[in-house]
Structure 1
């Protein structure tokens, strides 16, 4: 069995009701549910939420909400792995044989089914525990600077002041869209950020973290530009 788990807590602080807020015409969580559905990969698409309104809206777009997430894993400090582990454990306890699970964030409207598929192919074609979305930094991180207390610039990596940008090693960061893993890796609390994970590279034009009002506005601009007909 392959299952998608979409975490969608009700108590978002920086953007209230973020997971079901309107994004270019429909609740933002709908994009994640629809992308998961379009892959044809999943036997079940579960939204893990502690909020009855989020659950009802998720069902309207084709997800299931077989449980209300317990309060102990619905606070500001609960990580992604714990939420997926709970869902996999819940299914396993009810005699479902879960082989792979994919956590898909509820606020990932730029997500594309083809990349979810690439993540699955990368995972099952290897001995990795996880495969998740990453994207490259737009500027070499080796040229990063800090500002001192009096506002002066100080190089974080002074040894690379004169290194040509094309000679610097590319660096990547978590794209915040999907996290494939074996059921066993989630159940055993295997660390996500480790050599046991494969990075699935997404173009930067398909990645936008959404934590602030400014992030939200930028993501809508990107979505409209990418989907112009």
Structure 2
């Protein structure tokens, strides 16, 4: 695979935390850590930030990312699908860089605890298995076959999976939480306008460690990570 595009999607608006993508985390804007990881990995031909914010664009460029466009308004709402945003970036970049990319790796800014080795391992897995999509996961704490229920139309609790009811967790099928950290899309899958989800009929997972479960979405998440850094439990 000769041409890989790496995207980092960072819109200006945020319902949970105002200015989240450039909010200070241990002395640096949040987006810095994802750009740094992408640059240290070094396998992508272009590291492109998709944003509608001039402020985010300026900061991203300062840390070495490319911002060849500002994201159009219709793709910068809180209802705009992520896959559509990445598709737009791919089409735009193929046009301006005059090349066809083989795949797109997308990294969420809200997952600063991923490691560079995660990018390498996930990419190698994608190359070897040749799926339509790959996405990162962590082991789930709950299991719909074992200890998750939902109410039926009569208000009665049932196992979320109709084949559930296992008496031991280890007997139940393994399930995972999507941790919103790493996604890789095959070019042809991404360009198909009918495909708007990371899960396809040919998707594989990349399992990450437990600390990668943290997905920054609140002020408490910021404070928790800063506490872990201050106590030398983790490093950024």
* In structure 2, C-alpha distance between the alignment counterparts of 1:205 and 1:76, rounded to whole Å: 27
Output the aligned Cα RMSD: 2.4
Runs (5+) with no aligned partner, structure 2 = none
Matched, 1:135 2:138: yes
* In structure 2, C-alpha distance between the alignment counterparts of 1:126 and 1:171, rounded to whole Å: 20
Name the structure 2 match of 1:213: 219
Deviations 1:142-168 (A, max 9, x none): 212569xxxxx9563597556112212
Corresponding residue to 2:182 among 178, 181, 187: 178
* In structure 2, C-alpha distance between the alignment counterparts of 1:164 and 1:177, rounded to whole Å: 30
Superposed, which structure 2 residues align to 1:16-165 within 5 Å? 16-94=18-96, 95-141=98-144, 142-145=146-149, 154=157, 156=159, 163-165=167-169
The answer as to whether partners of 2:132 and 2:200 remain within 8 angstroms in 1 is no
Structure 1 residues 180 and 160, CA, compared in 2 at 3 Å: closer, same or farther? closer
Secondary structure of the corresponding residue to residue 122 of structure 2 = helix
Runs (5+) with no aligned partner, structure 1 = 148-152
Corresponding residue to 1:225 among 227, 230, 233: 233
Secondary structure of the corresponding residue to residue 194 of structure 1 = coil
| Deviant stretches of 4+, over 6 Å | none
Structure 1 residues 86 and 159, CA, compared in 2 at 3 Å: closer, same or farther? closer
Pick which of 215-224 and 59-68 moved more.
215-224
Pick which of 165-174 and 19-28 moved more.
165-174
The answer as to whether partners of 1:205 and 1:222 remain within 8 angstroms in 2 is no
Normalising to structure 1: TM-score of the pair?
Answer: 0.89
The answer as to whether partners of 2:133 and 2:200 remain within 8 angstroms in 1 is no
Name the structure 2 match of 1:196: 202
Normalising to structure 2: TM-score of the pair?
Answer: 0.86
Structure 1 residues 216 and 113, CA, compared in 2 at 3 Å: closer, same or farther? same
> How far off is 1:36 after superposition?
0.8
Deviations 1:110-145 (A, max 9, x none): 111111111211111123111111111124342125
Structure 1 residues 6 and 163, CA, compared in 2 at 3 Å: closer, same or farther? same
The answer as to whether partners of 1:102 and 1:179 remain within 8 angstroms in 2 is yes
The answer as to whether partners of 1:31 and 1:111 remain within 8 angstroms in 2 is no
> How far off is 1:214 after superposition?
2.3
Secondary structure of the corresponding residue to residue 129 of structure 2 = coil
* In structure 1, C-alpha distance between the alignment counterparts of 2:59 and 2:108, rounded to whole Å: 16
* In structure 2, C-alpha distance between the alignment counterparts of 1:67 and 1:6, rounded to whole Å: 13
How many residue pairs end up in the alignment? 225
